[in-house]
A and B are shown apart, each in its own frame.
Chain A
Amino acid sequence: MPTLIDDTIAAIATPMGRSGIGVIRLSGEDARRIAATVCGCGSNSLRDRATSLRRVRHPRTREVLDQAMVTYFRAPRSYTAEDVVELGCHGSPVVLESVMAVLLECGARLATPGEFTLRAFLRGRIDLVQAEAIRDLIEAKTLFQARVARQQAEGSLSRRLKPIKELLVRLISLLEAGIDFADDDVPVLAEEAIQEQLEPLVAGLQQLKAGFGRGRLLSAGLTVAVVGRTNVGKSTLFNTLVNQERAIVNESPGTTRDVVAEEAQLGGIPVRWLDTAGIRSSMDPVERIGIDKTREVLADADRLLLVLDGSVDLADEDRRLLEELKQQACCLVINKIDLPQRLPGEGIGPVEAPVVRVSALTGEGVETLKQVLLEDLGQGKVTQQEGALVTNFRQQERIGAALKALKRAVGAVEQGLPHEVILLDLHGALSSLNELTGETGIEDILGRIFQTFCVGK
Chain B
Amino acid sequence: MGNSTFQDHDVVVIGGGHAGVEAAVAAARMGLDTALYTMNADLIAQMSCNPAIGGIAKGHLVRELDAMGGVMGEVIDRTGIQFRLLNRSRGPAVWSPRAQADKQRYRVAMRRLLEGEARLGIKQAEVVEILRENGQVTGVELADGRRVGARAVVLTTGTFLNGLIHIGERKSAAGRSGESPSVPLAESIKGMGFGWGRMKTGTPPRLDGRTIDFGLAEEQKGDEHPTPFSFRTKEIRQPQVACYIAYSNDRTHQVVRENLSRSPLYSGRIQSIGPRYCPSFEDKVVKFPERPRHQIFLEPEGLSTNEIYVNGLSTSMPPGVQMEMVRSIRGLEEAELIRPGYAIEYDYVDPRELFPSLQTKRVAGLFHAGQINGTTGYEEAACQGLMAGINAARWVRGEEPVVLGRDEAYIGILIDDLVTKGTDEPYRMFTSRAEFRLQLRIDNADRRLTPLGGKLGLVGAEALAEYESKQKRMERLRDSLKELRVRVESGRISAREALKRTEFRIEQFVSGLPGGLRTDLNPEEMRSVETEIKYEGYLRQQRADIEKMRRASSRVLPVDFEYGNIAGLSREIVEKLSRIRPVTIGQASRIPGMTPAALSIIHVHLELERRKKEARA
Given the contacts A131-B611, A139-B568, A420-B93, A3 and B277 also touching, CB distance less than 8 Å: no
Contact flags B578-617 to A (C-beta < 8 A → 1, else 0): 0000000110011010111111110111011001100100
Shortest B435–chain A CB gap in Å is 8
B279 near A456 with CB under 8 A, answer yes
Question: B91–A122 contact, CB under 8 A?
Answer: no
The verdict on A4 contacting chain B, using a C-beta distance below 8 Å, is yes
Interface residues of B in 236-294 (CB under 8 A from A): 275-279, 284, 287-288, 291, 294
Contact A456 B600, CB 8 Å, known A1-B589, A418-B90: no
**Contact bitstring A132-157, B, C-beta under 8 A = 1, else 0:** 10111011111101100100000000
Assuming A4-B599, A138-B568, is B287 touching A454 (CB within 8 A)? yes
Taking CB atoms, residues of chain A closer than 8 Å to B612 are: 128
The chain A residue with its CB closest to the CB of B277 is A456
Q: Which residue in chain A gives the minimum CB-CB distance to B542?
A: A424
A184 touches B87 (CB 8 A): no
Which residues of the partner chain B approach A415 to less than 8 Å between Cβ atoms? 502
Check B570 for interface membership: any CB of A closer than 8 A: yes
Q: Are A457 and B297 in contact (CB under 8 A)?
A: yes
Give chain A's interface residue range (CB within 8 Å of chain B): 35 or more
Question: How many contacting A-B pairs (Cβ < 8 A)?
Answer: 166
Are A2 and B548 in contact, CB atoms less than 8 angstroms apart?
Answer: yes
Evaluate contact between A442 and B433: CB separation under 8 angstroms: yes
Name the distance in Å between A313's Cβ and chain B's nearest Cβ.
Answer: 38
Asked if residues B590 and A1 are in contact (CB atoms below 8 Å), the reply is yes
Are B568 and A420 neighbours in the complex by a CB distance under 8 Å? Answer: no
B494 at the interface (CB under 8 A from A): no
For chain B, the count of residues having a C-beta within 8 Å of the partner chain is: 70
B92-112 residues with Cβ-Cβ distance < 8 A to A are 92-94, 98
**A residues less than 8 Å from B91 (CB atoms):** 417-421
B589 touches A456 (CB 8 A): no
Residue from the list B50, B430, B586, B589 in contact with A446, Cβ < 8 A: B430
A115 contacts chain B at the CB level, 8 A cutoff: yes
Considering the complex, give the chain B residue whose CB is closest to the CB of A183: B86
B568 nearest CB neighbor, chain A only: A139
Instruction: Tell me if A188 counts as interface (CB < 8 A to partner B).
Output: yes
Asked whether B615 lies within 8 Å of A118 as measured between CB atoms, the reply is: no
Tell yes or no: A292 within 8 A of B by CB.
Answer: no
Q: Which residue from chain B places its CB closest to the CB of A422 in the assembled complex?
A: B91
Asked if B89 is at the interface (CB within 8 A of a chain A CB), the reply is yes
Given known pairs A456-B275, A457-B311, the reply for A182 and B87 (CB within 8 Å) is yes
Residues on the B chain within 8 Å of A135, using CB: 601, 604-605, 608
Is A455 close to B, CB under 8 A? yes
CB distance from B355 to the nearest CB of A (A): 20
Bound Cα distance from A298 to B592, whole angstroms: 28
Partner of B548, one of A6, A146, A423, A456: A6
B486-506, CB < 8 A from A: 502
Complex-state Cα separation, A146 to B430, whole angstroms: 33
**A393 at the B interface (CB under 8 A):** no
Residue of B nearest to A4 (CB): B600
Say whether A424 contacts B438, CB under 8 Å: yes
Report Cα–Cα, A138/B89, bound state, in Å. Answer: 51
| Closest B residue to A122 using CB positions | B607
Smallest beta-carbon distance B493→chain A, Å: 18
Closest Cβ–Cβ distance, residue A299 to chain B (whole Å): 20
- B89, B311, B568, B599 pick with most chain A CB within 10 angstroms: B568
Interface readout for A2-17 with B: 1 if CB under 8 Å, 0 if not? 1111110000000000
Given contacts A1-B599, A3-B585, A454-B294, contact A180 B431 (CB under 8 A): yes
Q: Mark A428-441, 1 if CB is under 8 A from B, else 0.
A: 00000000000001
Partner of A141, one of B569, B597, B599, B611: B597
Min CB distance, A296 to chain B, in Å? 25
Residues of chain B contacted by A447 (CB below 8 angstroms): 276
Q: Once bound together, how far apart are the Cα atoms of A131 and B596, in whole Å?
A: 19
Known: A7-B548, A417-B91, A420-B93. A118 touches B288 (CB 8 A): no
Note all chain B residues with C-beta closer than 8 A to A184: 295
Proximity bits, A319-362, B CB within 8 Å = 1, else 0:
00000000000000000000000000000000000000000000
Q: B451 to nearest A CB, angstroms?
A: 26
Cα distance A189–B259 in the bound complex, in angstroms: 37
Question: A139-B567, A185-B295 given as contacts; is B312 within 8 A of A457 (CB)?
Answer: yes
A73 sits at the interface (CB 8 A): no
The docked-state distance in angstroms from the alpha carbon of A143 to that of B548 is 26
- Is B601 a contact partner of A142 (Cβ separation < 8 A)? yes
Write the chain B residue with the least CB distance to A141: B597
Complex: chain A residue closest to B88, CB-CB: A182
- CB–CB B548/A4 < 8 A: no
One of A128, A142, A416, A445 near B608 (C-beta < 8 A)? A128
Interface membership of A223, Cβ < 8 A: no
* Nearest chain B residue, comparing its CB with the CB of A113: B597
Task: Report yes or no: B438 in contact with A420, Cβ–Cβ below 8 A.
Answer: yes
Residues of chain A with a CB closer than 8 A to B589's CB: 1, 3
Hey, which chain B residues are within 8 Å of A180, CB to CB?
56-57, 430-432
Q: Kindly state the separation between the CA atoms of A435 and B608 in the bound complex, as whole angstroms.
A: 29
> Is B551 part of the contact surface with A, judged by Cβ < 8 Å?
yes
Residues of A with C-beta under 8 A to B595:
142, 145-146, 149
Q: Does B437 contact A (CB under 8 A)?
A: yes
Residue of B whose beta carbon sits closest to that of A428:
B541
CB-based contact B56/A139 at 8 Å: no
A222 to chain B, nearest CB (A): 19
Contacts of A181 in B (CB 8 A): 56, 277
Q: Give the contacts of B467-502 with A (CB-CB under 8 A).
A: 502
Residue of B nearest to A127 (CB): B611
Residue of B nearest to A453 (CB): B288
Evaluate whether A179 and B607 lie within 8 angstroms (CB atoms) in the complex, with A146-B595, A415-B502, A456-B279 already known: no
Of A140, A182, A442, which one neighbours B90 at CB under 8 angstroms?
A182
A138 and B604: CB pair below 8 A?
yes
Task: Give CA–CA (A416, B89) in the complex, Å.
Answer: 12
Whether, in the assembled complex, B559 has its beta carbon less than 8 Å from a beta carbon of chain A, the answer is: no
Judged by a CB distance under 8 angstroms, whether B566 is at the interface is yes
A175-200, CB under 8 A of B: which get 1 and which 0? Answer: 01011111111001000000000000
B552 CB-CB contact with A under 8 Å: yes
Q: Is the CB of B596 within 8 A of A2?
A: yes
B87 in contact with A131 (CB, 8 Å): no
Most chain B beta-carbon neighbours within 10 Å: one of A418, A423, A445 = A418
A121 interface residue (CB < 8 Å to B):
yes
The yes or no answer to B314 lying at the interface (CB within 8 A) is: yes
Q: How far is the CB of A191 from chain B (nearest CB, A)?
A: 12
Please encode chain B, from 286 to 317, with 1 for each CB lying within 8 Å of some chain A CB and 0 for all others: 01100100110100000000000001101000
**B146 CB to closest chain A CB, in angstroms?**
42
* Per-position binary interface string of chain B over residues 305-346, scored 1 when its CB falls under 8 Å from any chain A CB and 0 otherwise: 000000110100000000000000000000000000000000
Q: Roughly how many angstroms separate A446 CA and B427 CA in the complex, as a whole number?
A: 12
List chain A residues, Cβ under 8 A from B6.
Answer: none
Task: Give chain B nearest CB distance to A27 CB in angstroms.
Answer: 14
Beyond A135-B608, A142-B598, 16 additional contacts (C-beta under 8 Å) are A4-B603, A121-B604, A135-B601, A135-B605, A139-B566, A142-B600, A146-B597, A179-B56, A182-B90, A416-B502, A420-B438, A423-B437, A424-B538, A424-B542, A446-B432, A457-B312
A-B contact pairs, 8 of them (CB 8 A): A131-B607, A141-B597, A142-B601, A180-B56, A182-B90, A420-B94, A424-B542, A457-B297
Nearest 8 pairs between A and B by C-beta?
A418-B91, A139-B568, A142-B568, A450-B276, A456-B277, A142-B597, A454-B288, A456-B278
**A interface residues, Cβ below 8 angstroms from B:** 1-7, 112, 115, 118, 121-122, 128, 131-132, 134-136, 138-143, 145-146, 149, 176, 178-185, 188, 415-421, 423-424, 427, 441-442, 445-447, 450, 454-457
